[in-house]
Amino acid sequence: MRAVQAAGGKTLTGRRQLGLLLGIATFVLAVDIVSKAMVTAHIREYSEIHLIGNVLMLTDQRNGGAAFSLGGPSMTIVFTAIAVGVVTYILRAARKLRSLGWAVALGLLLGGATGNLVDRIFRAPGLFRGEVVDWIMVTRFYPVFNLADSAICCGGVLIALLALRGIRLDGTRVMHADADGDEELDR
């Protein structure tokens, strides 16, 4: 009971948190799919459109590896399996979800993972071996990425912040016992 009373931030109940998670995931997925469709229709592969000199450019590159071109094409099937696992875990964890922060974080993660999973399933060179469309280039020294990668990273940062603050999926805060055996909110 004390853990519930010590819940940090806003908590949601029942269908509301699932609706928020799925709404964010759907938005991220839709924006990712539309942006990749526009890039593949209007930018030639490996060409560059300079928006701000050599600082911000648009391009069309294919990535068989993980986020930010890590891993390489030989790992495509592994990353596909990992993405399926992440999506499955998030959907199962959503039953316990009562935290606004966790709903946002998992929505970003689910939308981003699904966006890249759609590419891996349906794009060339073949089913479950497809390459992800990356199109945002920030300087020539940083890997090319897409909106799904950005959502995954933002969700990951938010998850780390929530964990550091001791906020659980159910919206409660981590409690610990002090030297006298009394429970205190972990700050």
- Name the catalytic one among 32, 60, 119, 134: 134
60 is known as an active-site residue: no
Does residue 180 fall inside a structural domain? Answer: no
Does residue 41 fall inside a structural domain? Answer: yes
Q: Which of 24-33, 51-60, 137-146 has the lowest mean pLDDT?
A: 137-146
Question: Is residue 156 a contact partner of residue 164, using CB atoms and an 8 Å limit?
Answer: no
Does residue 48 fall inside a structural domain? Answer: yes
Does residue 81 fall inside a structural domain? Answer: yes
149 is known as an active-site residue: yes
- Name the catalytic one among 119, 149, 180, 182: 149
Distance CA 25, CA 28 (A): 5
Does residue 131 fall inside a structural domain? Answer: yes
Does residue 24 fall inside a structural domain? Answer: yes
Does residue 4 fall inside a structural domain? Answer: no
Quick: pLDDT tens for 45-87: 999 999 999 999 999 999 887 666 667 666 777 888 888 999 9
Total number of domains constituting the chain: 1
Does residue 10 fall inside a structural domain? Answer: no
pTM for the whole thing? 0.84
Strand 48-52 versus strand 132-138 pairing type: unpaired
Give the residue numbers spanning the domain of 145. 15-166
